[in-house]
């Protein structure tokens, strides 16, 4: 099945590993779609490594993009830009922020799903698949892995298309 | 290729990461198939986390299911319920049990393959893909990873269909 | 999409996890292609575990294969055997060697891509996907993961076909 994202499709989840080309793929599809481009960033610049990563991603986007920061209040951020072409990058950093903040992630996820369903216009969400290595030693990492997997399943069910990226190449899951 | 499991197909391997929706997918296909439903559980309740996980999976199954415990003697357990609709969840916990028990896993795997081939009726096996992260630091984890990958290959060769699950969505590998 | 590798296809990347059947799949396709068979080995026998792994892979190849060692100078090694049927196993060990050697990996990768494009005859490259587990604790492992993912993307763009292996079964990414 070819990895499609056609005019009638509004919601897309781009899933993949680290450096699989997820962000680039998602961004290219959003730009091809057109409309007012809004980038919803969930990453927080806690340290130099993260600052570098954020700066590199920013450099990949040109002046057409407006950036909104949403480390925790993702549903609200999406609600604020309904009608635009929105790229959320990424759900896995958001999951990590929820965990560190000891937030009610089940509730936050339910509100995210509502925001996805209420969105008018294109909505592309990027997420990491993190469950395909061996079981992590520490309990927090296992909890994070379970949360991320559960959130990916719920978002996948709520969007029209899901693309799995590996080595820069998309595979259609939905 | 659509993820099929048709009347003529008897053996299915459901492969995926943590919280990828493997168990739910496998269970839904087994229930759709009908017949006498037997759940072969390989997990052992060593600690609270595992007890929770087992309880949650049990709560997902209704009264139609009979549960058989087979932490080590999996081939024998499958042999005992030939003719029924059998769901084995999961091969990776079984692999872990074999490793901790210092059992002859090559031999146990050979006997599992024979049991799969001898089974009359539907047989669905769930397994984790654990080899897609970075190489683990410790030698035992590397051995486990090698065992799990080898067992997945052998079982995949012995069944009619293999589904890879990600974010709750199946992809046909065979 | 069926995992094809046809007469007109010259370059193939075989991507997968540990014990996913990558090497066997790549070797079978190379042998089916015929010509003078050259195995380009990037692994170094630093310890017993690695020595075992190399010996086991060697035992899988018969007398038709000539072996060339290229732990670092991979572009040069490929350049030396242009016209032959070449199997490089694997890019991920090469990446690890570059990292440990503190080599200029961006430059080495650029030269590898040139060598792939200049190669006459069949060229099959094996690589691990290592980015689908949780984020590694240590910075070196994260750097390695980023390098490996980036190299996989560049090589995938330079070859005709990409196969993703899981449980011994190929899935076409390209």
pLDDT digits (tens, 9 = 90+) for B28-79: 999 999 999 999 999 987 788 888 877 887 888 888 999 999 999 999 999 9
Which residues on C lie below 8 Å from A21 (Cβ)?
153
Search chain B and give the residue with CA nearest A156.
B167
Cβ of A146 within 8 Å of Cβ of B20? The answer is no
d(CA B149, CA B138): 17
The percent of residues in chain C predicted with pLDDT above 70, rounded, is: 99
d(CA C118, CA A111): 53
Q: Over 80: is that where the pLDDT of C1 sits?
A: no
Sheet holding A85-89, edge to edge: A65-69, A37-41, A85-89, A123-128, A11-16, A161-166, A169-172
Would you call C18 an interface residue with chain A, using a CB distance cutoff of 8 Å?
A: no
pLDDT at A83: 92
Q: Report how far apart, in Å, the C-alpha atoms of A149 and of each of A4, A109, A145, B42, C110 are.
A: 23, 12, 6, 22, 35
pLDDT at C144: 97
Q: Over 90: is that where the pLDDT of B134 sits?
A: yes
| Pairs across A and C, CB distance < 8 A | 74
Instruction: Please name the member of B139, B145, B174 whose beta carbon is closest to the beta carbon of C19.
Output: B145
The two beta strands, B161-166 and B169-172, are antiparallel
Sheet holding C65-69, edge to edge: C65-69, C37-41, C85-89, C123-128, C11-16, C161-166, C169-172
pLDDT at A126: 98
Closest CA to A34 of A77, A84, A79, A82: A84
Would you call C15 an interface residue with chain A, using a CB distance cutoff of 8 Å?
A: yes
Cβ of C132 within 8 Å of Cβ of A136? The answer is no
The CA distance from B170 to the nearest CA of chain A, in Å, is 7
Contact by Cβ (8 Å): C159, A155: no
Query: What number of CA atoms fall less than 13 Å from residue A49's CA on the CB side?
Result: 7
Cβ of B18 within 8 Å of Cβ of A134? The answer is no
The two beta strands, C85-89 and C37-41, are parallel
Average pLDDT for C69-85: 96
Instruction: Please name the member of B134, B149, B162 whose beta carbon is closest to the beta carbon of C133.
Output: B134
> Which of these is catalytic: C57, C84, C119, C163?
C57
Cβ of A131 within 8 Å of Cβ of C131? The answer is no
The percent of residues in chain C predicted with pLDDT above 90, rounded, is: 84
Instruction: Please name the member of C134, C146, C157 whose beta carbon is closest to the beta carbon of A19.
Output: C146
Strands (E), C23-139: 37-41, 65-69, 85-89, 123-128
Cβ of A132 within 8 Å of Cβ of C17? The answer is yes
Token duo for residue B52: 């929770």
Search chain A and give the residue with CA nearest B20.
A149
d(CA C90, CA A52): 29
Which residues on A lie below 8 Å from C148 (Cβ)?
19
Cβ of C171 within 8 Å of Cβ of B149? The answer is no
Q: Which chains touch B (3 or more CB pairs under 8 A)?
A: A, C
Q: Over 90: is that where the pLDDT of C45 sits?
A: no
Search chain B and give the residue with CA nearest C148.
B134
Per-residue pLDDT of chain A (174 residues; tens, 9 = 90+): 689 999 889 899 999 999 999 999 999 999 999 999 999 999 987 788 888 877 887 888 888 999 999 999 999 999 999 999 999 999 999 999 999 999 999 999 999 999 999 999 999 999 999 999 999 999 999 999 999 999 999 999 999 999 999 999 999 999
Instruction: Please name the member of B19, B130, B169 whose beta carbon is closest to the beta carbon of A162.
Output: B169
Would you call C28 an interface residue with chain B, using a CB distance cutoff of 8 Å?
A: no
B62 among annotated binding-site residues: no
Non-local (6+) Cβ contacts of C11 within 8 A are C116, C119, C123, C124, C125, C158, C159, C160, C161
C59 among annotated binding-site residues: no
d(CA B135, CA B104): 24
Could you confirm whether C84 is annotated as catalytic? no
Would you give the DSSP letter of residue B5?
Answer: -
Q: Which chains touch A (3 or more CB pairs under 8 A)?
A: B, C
The CA distance from A52 to the nearest CA of chain B, in Å, is 22
Closest CA to B164 of C162, A172, C93: A172
Tell whether omega for the bond before C90 is within 30 degrees of 0, i.e. cis.
Answer: yes
Q: Which residue reads 């994070």 in tokens?
A: A144
| Pairs across A and B, CB distance < 8 A | 74
The two beta strands, C123-128 and C85-89, are parallel
Cβ of A168 within 8 Å of Cβ of C156? The answer is yes
Rounded to 5 degrees, what are φ and ψ at A172? -80, 125
Instruction: Determine the residue among A12, A131, A140 to mutate to test chain B binding: the one whose Cβ has the most chain B Cβ atoms within 10 Å.
Output: A131
d(CA C15, CA B34): 37
Domains, chain C: 11-172 (3.40.50.300)
Would you call C59 an interface residue with chain A, using a CB distance cutoff of 8 Å?
A: no
Cβ of B131 within 8 Å of Cβ of C20? The answer is yes
Non-local (6+) Cβ contacts of B115 within 8 A are B74, B75, B76, B78, B79
């Amino acid at each position: 099945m070819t990895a499609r994202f056609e005019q009638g499709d509004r919601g897309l989840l781009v899933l993949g590993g680290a450096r699989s080309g997820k962000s680039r793929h998602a961004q290219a599809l959003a730009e091809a779609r057109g409309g007012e481009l809004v980038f919803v960033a969930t990453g927080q610049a806690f340290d130099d490594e993260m600052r570098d990563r954020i700066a590199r991603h920013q450099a990949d986007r040109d002046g057409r993009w407006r950036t909104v920061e949403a480390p925790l209040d993702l549903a609200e951020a999406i609600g604020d830009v309904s009608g635009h072409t929105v790229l959320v990058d990424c759900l896995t950093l958001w999951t990590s922020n929820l965990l560190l903040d000891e937030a009610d992630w089940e509730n936050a996820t339910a509100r995210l799903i509502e925001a996805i369903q209420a969105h008018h216009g294109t909505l592309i969400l990027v997420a990491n698949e993190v469950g395909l290595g061996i079981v992590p030693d520490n309990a927090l990492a296992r909890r994070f892995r379970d949360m991320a997997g559960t959130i990916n399943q719920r978002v996948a069910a709520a969007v029209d298309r899901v693309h799995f990226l590996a080595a820069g190449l998309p595979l259609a899951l939905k």
